[in-house]
Amino acid sequence: MQKEYLDLEEYGIVGNLETCALIGRNGSVDWMCLPWFESPSVFGALLDPGRGGRFLVTPEEKFHSFHGYISHTNILETTFRTIQGQMVIQDFMPVVGQSKQAVLYRKLHCTWGSIRMYGLFAPAPAYGSETPEYEKTEHGIRASHGDLALQLVTSLDFQIGEEGAASRFVLQEGQSAWLILAHGEVDFDTSDATNEATMERTRRWWNNWLEQCGGKRACAFEDDVWGHVVTRSELALKLLTNPRTGAVAAAATTSLPEALGGERNWDYRFSWVRDSSFLLQALFHLGHHQEAMNYIRWIDEKIAKEDSARTLQVLYSLHGEDGAEERTLSELRGYRDAKPVRIGNGASEQFQLDIFGELTNMIYQTTRYGRNLSGAQWRYTRDIVNMAAEVWQEKDQGIWEMRGEPRHNVYSKVMCWVALDRGVRMAESNGFDAPLEDWRATRDAIHNAVLERGFNKQRNSFVDVFDGEELDAANLLIPVLGFLPGDDPRVLGTIDAALEHLSAGDGLLFRYTIDDGLRGKEGAFAVCSFWMVKALVLAGRNDEAERFFLHTLDYISPLGLLSEEVNPASSAMLGNFPQAFSHIGLINSALYLGLMRGKDSGQPRPMGME
């Protein structure tokens, strides 16, 4: 009997760089949005097994299954074993440029014995709110609703019924079958030979993409213990990167809960500005300069379109649309009954001071990697720095996007200092026109204010808000950002306080200790663990950093994927999945550990190590 909900670590992801499919170890496509990540789902059993829709291919008998990726690719292989035989399903999507539309290929191959299989093709468009019309075609099944057309091409006999289109079939040892799902009409060859060639071309594409950075590839990432997880993070990050715009999705999903049964359910199918500098650092050191430059171009375009720095958004659509209006889908149960299911994200309307520092830092980092700023680029950079100088004393919602009243968040003030500091550095080194005297004075004022009001002497740690007492893991970035040296006693105190009071177990940290007003206790926040690794490296506590990193790797899925959070009690993954910020954190942590060991990336030293 099939489980109603799978654990998140039981899912693999395949994609074409503009959308993806989450495929369970049971052979079910439980999440897929078409044509883009942020489009409405057509398969959404992840959020409602009853009405969400799925594309299932699974044994009819009791089975054991496991899955993995073909080496250095995003081609997923799931192996099913029954008492009668063994079946392998290979799932993949040709990337944008190889195919003019989104196409999911599923190859079934019986490797020994015989195996009875069940297939169900049951799309549920518009987040399960619509039922498509089915019709048999010469080559399979067509499902359509309004402008949406899905074509399932297969030699297997699918019959249309109440639940969708279903098939029961047997494959003998050596036999194969293909199921090809296309968004739109099929006007391409789907013969077995062509399908095999398409899979081989996709395999080579992924292999070649990794090898593009071969000559420039940071040996800092090479390690017998964690080298393979860096590669998987690299591949996962690429799946979330839009090739047309350069934007990177924070995650492939919406409303996967940070606390089971709670309300901490958000839509992450957008690109967050605050990911910028750490993302670029990872891409440049991995050797993926084209992706880095595409992302920079996308950010440039977003900044240039704004009337002023004050109107810069926290997050943007992957395809350039304005706004991310948040609404709930009350008819959906939610993953493991966590409601509400949300689409859109209200954080887009929040005022968050840290984005001014994040953008300025990103621009500054690009100049370290060889980029020359144009006059127009410096003018809008100067506007951002001026805005940080103007508003740094205001309250904001902060990096954690809390939905209560604005506060004087310490990390936000630190990031305003970053904006002024990087602005001063760029103006000084390039002779750019800037009010340097004012910027230096404001930079010093912010620095003094953070040291006086953001550091709690009783707790011997930086805290979450001015004159506060609660801890915030974001302050582990203080040495990374260059606000204080890594061995400063106040940094060391902050590290020790986090290890004692934010610890959720070996290799895990909660992000803060404050009651944020939301129902349910959230899990440990994955990226905070990677911030700790970097802080420990910069503090010179190298052995401790490596041990912490290795403990954190225990919580990666069997496929090498990371969600946003981890349940400390069960080690189960929580939050949207796979999560770009978590994978960026892993990559950068491996970079700092590699450099700490004396290896070289062939790039400028990363933040905090300059």
The pLDDT tens digits for 389-431 are 999 999 999 999 998 899 999 999 999 999 999 999 999 999 9
Instruction: Compute the distance between CA of residue 120 and CA of residue 517 in angstroms, rounded to an integer.
Output: 42
Tens-place pLDDT, residues 306-343: 878 888 999 999 986 666 899 999 999 999 999 999 99
Q: What is the pLDDT of residue 504?
A: 95
User: Measuring CA to CA, how many Å separate 399 from each of 356, 390, 406, 407?
Assistant: 12, 19, 12, 11
Domain range summary for the chain, segments of one domain joined by +:
8-210, 212-596
Is residue 367 classed as helix, strand or coil in its secondary structure?
Answer: helix
Q: What is the pLDDT of residue 319?
A: 85
Tens-place pLDDT, residues 254-264: 999 999 888 88
311: nearest Cα among 383, 389, 209, 410: 383
Mean pLDDT score, 131-146: 96
Contacts of 168 (CB under 8 A, 6+ apart): 60, 116, 117, 118, 119
| pLDDT band at residue 161 under the 50/70/90 scheme | very high
Instruction: Compute the distance between CA of residue 381 and CA of residue 102 in angstroms, rounded to an integer.
Output: 38
Tens-place pLDDT, residues 518-529: 887 899 999 999
Instruction: Compute the distance between CA of residue 566 and CA of residue 556 in angstroms, rounded to an integer.
Output: 9
Residue 486 near residue 479, CB atoms below 8 Å? yes
Residue 123 near residue 156, CB atoms below 8 Å? no
Higher pLDDT pick, 97 / 542: 542
Q: What is the pLDDT of residue 112?
A: 97
DSSP 8-state assignment for residue 34? S
Q: What is the pLDDT of residue 215?
A: 46
The token pair that represents 327 in the structure block: 């609404």
411: how many CB neighbours lie within 10 A of its CB? 27
Instruction: Compute the distance between CA of residue 482 and CA of residue 607 in angstroms, rounded to an integer.
Output: 7
The token pair that represents 559 in the structure block: 């496929």
419: nearest Cα among 484, 356, 483: 356
* pLDDT for residue 15 is more than 50: yes
Residue 288: phi and psi, rounded to 5, are -90, 70
Instruction: Compute the distance between CA of residue 125 and CA of residue 133 in angstroms, rounded to an integer.
Output: 11
Tens-place pLDDT, residues 434-444: 999 999 999 99
Amino acid at 516: D
DSSP 8-state assignment for residue 186? -
Q: What is the pLDDT of residue 304?
A: 87
Helices and strands counted in the chain (H then E): 13, 24
512: nearest Cα among 352, 400, 358: 400
Q: Kindly state the percentage of the chain with pLDDT values over 70.
A: 98
Q: Kindly state the percentage of the chain with pLDDT values over 90.
A: 86
Is residue 359 classed as helix, strand or coil in its secondary structure?
Answer: helix
52: how many CB neighbours lie within 10 A of its CB? 24
Which DSSP string do the residues of 283-331 spell out, in sequence order? HHHHT-HHHHHHHHHHHHHHHHHSSSGGG--SEE-TTS-S----EE-TT
Instruction: Compute the distance between CA of residue 577 and CA of residue 8 in angstroms, rounded to an integer.
Output: 8
Residue 220 near residue 285, CB atoms below 8 Å? yes
Please give the CATH architecture assigned to the domain spanning 8-210: Distorted Sandwich (2.70)
Tens-place pLDDT, residues 200-226: 999 999 999 997 655 444 567 777 788
Instruction: Compute the distance between CA of residue 48 and CA of residue 122 in angstroms, rounded to an integer.
Output: 13
Partner residues linked to 33 by β-bridges? 41
Q: Examine domains 8-210 and 212-596 and report if their fold is the same.
A: no
User: Measuring CA to CA, how many Å separate 479 from each of 224, 340, 363, 487?
Assistant: 28, 38, 19, 8
Tens-place pLDDT, residues 244-302: 999 999 999 999 999 988 888 999 999 999 889 999 999 999 989 999 999 999 999 98
Q: What is the pLDDT of residue 202?
A: 98
Higher pLDDT pick, 211 / 155: 155
| Range name among 109-113, 285-289, 437-441, 571-575 with the lowest pLDDT average | 285-289
* Total-model pTM: 0.96
- What class, spelled out in words, does domain 212-596 have in CATH? mainly alpha
Tens-place pLDDT, residues 346-399: 998 899 999 999 999 999 999 999 999 999 999 999 999 999 999 999 999 999
Give Cα 600 to chain centroid, integer Å.
27
